[in-house]
Chains A and B, each alone.
Chain A
Amino acid sequence: MSKFRKKKKGMPAVNTAALPDIVFMLLFFFMVTTTMRETDLRIENPRLPSATEIKKLEHKSLVCTIYIGKSKDPNRDGVGYNKIQLNDKIASAEQVPAFIINARSKVSEAEVPFMTTSIKADKESNVGTITDIRLKLRDVNALKISYSTQKGSSN
């Protein structure tokens, strides 16, 4: 009799030994898929203008990004919202063609016509700066441009 009584004692606990494994698996998945921003911003994070008629940028590897905005270090780069950042340096519009050609050398020739230049400019930047860049882009035949914006609400 005593043997039977022993079995009745308490509910068996659910085995949670495998729970950490599951969670770790998820954790590693997220760690691997998380991509850190590849360039540090030398300018303050641009406050993008908002628009409604926007298109998604596809093929991330074919996009080169030009940032325009206020420098984080005004003592070195000067003040104003018209600083241009290429790769991770503050540059001038004259350096844009070199930047594009350099980006082109990294993709195959067949894909060059699909390359897009994404311009991430601050709301308070001036159109003059954008135009300078646009003229330089036209010189090197980089004709596809995307002005990066937030999704705004339509009114």
Chain B
Amino acid sequence: MARRENPEINAGSMADIAFLLLIFFLVTTTMNVDSGVSKKLSEKPPKDYVPPIIKEKNIFVVIINRNNELLVEDERMQINDLKDAAIKFIDNGGGIGTAGEDGSPGKPCDYCQGEKSELSSDHPNKAIISVQSDRGTEYGMYIQVQNELLRAYTELRNRLSTQKYKITFDQLEQAYGEAKKNASLKDRVEDLKNKVEFIKTAYPQIISDAEPTS
């Protein structure tokens, strides 16, 4: 008999098998980043709570009925026009703002570019947007409305931020987030924080969800 060498197992296709498995896992892995419209609920009011009296001109009423139709300030409106209507209302600045916490009197809105009409909101920090929906309203529509209102605020904040700091509010917030994480930018954190806070208080998001009608 001829001398035979111990036959080796052919491992050439091993790589193919491993690649196949690898690709399978690569494809099925989903990095799902959860994202959404975030909201903060108001705290539960105490039993004897009397709601403060708010002037009607400072409330922007958005009603969504069960057929997903919009009624904004007693007029029918399409969803596409909602953002501009909300901007017009928030940015009106027809009067003086709320008094400061230290008792200083409220100031008129010096950054507003609205019409300064007597019949619309006094100041962005007094302007309340009230969304009243029906129990039967579709959730998709509700989110769309919330989104449009948030877009109105974003647009106003971006405008003010560009005017004052030459960058948009989104970029400002991003810079603040980065500065917080990065130790080498420590000296800028305080400055950026103040800027972000300033814009946020200039245009606070006051969107209230009324209890739905049934």
Q: Any chain B CB within 8 A of the CB of A123?
A: yes
Count residues of chain B with CB under 8 A from any CB of chain A.
Answer: 46
Q: Is A130 an interface residue (CB 8 A)?
A: yes
B147-A27 in contact (CB<8A): no
> B99: CB under 8 A from chain A?
no
Shortest Cβ distance from residue B80 to the other chain A in the assembled complex, whole angstroms: 8
B28 at the interface (CB under 8 A from A): yes
Q: Chain A residues with Cβ under 8 A from B146's Cβ?
A: 51, 147
A122, A149, A155: the one within 8 Å of B35 (CB): A149
CB pair A127–B34 under 8 Å, yes or no, is: no
Question: Taking each of B11, B12, B135, B209, which has the highest tally of chain A beta carbons within 10 Å of its own beta carbon?
Answer: B135
Contact with A along B91-130 (1 / 0, CB 8 A): 0000000000000000000000000000000000000000
Interface core residue of A31, A130, A139 (most chain B CB under 10 Å): A130
Q: How far is the CA of A123 from the CA of B154 in the complex (A)?
A: 24
User: Distance (Å) between the CB of B155 and the closest chain A CB?
Assistant: 10
Given A51-B147, A141-B43, A147-B143, A131 and B37 touching (CB < 8 A)? no
A148-B25 contact in complex given A124-B139, A127-B135, A143-B41, C-beta closer than 8 Å = no
Label chain B's interface by main secondary structure.
mixed
Residues of B within 8 A of A126 (CB): 135-139
A139 to B142, CA, bound (A): 22
Contact A55 B35 (CB under 8 A): yes
Q: Is B211 an interface residue (CB 8 A)?
A: yes
Are the C-beta atoms of B15 and A20 separated by less than 8 Å? yes
Is A30's CB under 8 angstroms from B26's CB? yes
Say whether, besides A27-B18, A49-B144, A55 and B25 are in contact (CB < 8 Å): no
A138 interface contact, C-beta 8 A: yes
Give CA–CA (A4, B110) in the complex, Å.
Answer: 93
Can you list 20 pairs linking A and B with CB atoms under 8 Å apart?
A16-B15, A23-B22, A53-B150, A56-B34, A57-B36, A124-B139, A125-B139, A126-B136, A131-B212, A137-B41, A144-B38, A144-B39, A144-B41, A145-B39, A146-B36, A146-B39, A147-B36, A147-B37, A147-B143, A155-B80
With A20-B11, A141-B44, A143-B41 known, 17 other A-B pairs at CB within 8 A are A23-B18, A24-B18, A30-B25, A51-B147, A53-B150, A53-B151, A55-B36, A63-B34, A68-B139, A121-B139, A127-B135, A128-B137, A128-B214, A131-B211, A139-B44, A145-B38, A146-B36
